[in-house]
Amino acid sequence: MKKDKLKILFVGDIVGRPGRKAVAHFVPIFRKSEDIDLVIANGENMAAGRGFTHEKYEDLLKVGVDYFTSGNHIWANADIIPYLKEKSVKILRPANFTGENPGRGFDTIEVDGTKVTIINLIGQVFNPIPSDNPFHTVDEIIADHKDSIIVVDLHAEATSEKVAMGHYLDGRISVFCGTHTHIQTADERILPNGTAYITDAGMCGPKESVLGVKKEIIIEKFLTAMPQSHKVAVGDMIFNALLIEIDTKTKKAIQLKRINETLLTDI
């Protein structure tokens, strides 16, 4: 039986082991306490801070993540690439990547009798990876999925690009979540035409870090301008996410809540 409302939890970029630990702790708690129907997470940094592995992907499916989006690090670990060709694997790569890339940039699933289309895009501003215009790409996908609740993850560096995309899609999609910067923005809101919006969902990973990397490494890089080997930090962990409730009939967001939790290392 189709539900009147659907609850979606969108989880920010998962960084390494600390991020996976935070997700494994908090996702089951929120699934139960908030009666969540669908959990989507950006997982492109889940394996040692860069890329996916099939083993880590399977581990997070078991704790309650239903689907993964990605971004510029989707190819960082070759282990996952063969699996991206399988329809059963719930991982998206940006739909507007140029060339013949393995995998898919969007997918439609059924959640409690309701169609949900998840779309993954990558921004063009400050992005060295060749990509097509995300605005044009998303237009083409949306045109064929008007009967779905549509969730868009734009993995982008520039705030302006994400804000512009949110307004551009307002009323045509149900949820817009920006990812990539690993810093959760405090601008969550329902836009005038009913789209739930946040510029960046944030990060799941080490709290005392620079975007998940050991802070000493990044400080040294800024001081010396010399390349440094990035290593994921340790310590207390943060869990950033956005919880959205959607009317399945109108496909508009009813309410949303930004989540920012901390998991202490002694838990």
* Biggest alpha carbon–alpha carbon distance for the chain: 61
pLDDT tens-digit profile of 141-171?
999 999 999 999 999 999 999 999 999 999 9
- Nearest C-alpha neighbor of 118 from the set 23, 8, 229, 194: 8
Domain count across the chain:
1
Show which residues are catalytic.
Answer: 73
Summarised one tens digit per residue, pLDDT across range 89-146 is 999 999 999 878 899 999 999 999 999 999 999 999 999 889 999 999 999 999 999 9
| Full domain range(s) for residue 85 | 5-206+235-263
User: Residue 252 carries which DSSP code?
Assistant: -
Residue 175 makes CB contacts below 8 A (sequence gap 6+) with: 8, 10, 149, 150, 151, 152, 195, 196, 244, 246, 253
For residue 35, tell me if it sits in a domain: yes
Domain assignment present for 211: no
Residue 237: name the closest of 8, 9, 24, 10 by CA: 24
Residue 167 DSSP SS3:
helix
Q: Which helix (H) or strand (E) holds 216?
A: helix 215-224
In a domain, 155, yes or no: yes
169-205 pLDDT, tens digit each? 999 999 999 999 999 999 999 999 999 999 999 999 9
CATH number at 37 reads 3.60.21.10
**pLDDT for residue 28 is more than 90:** yes
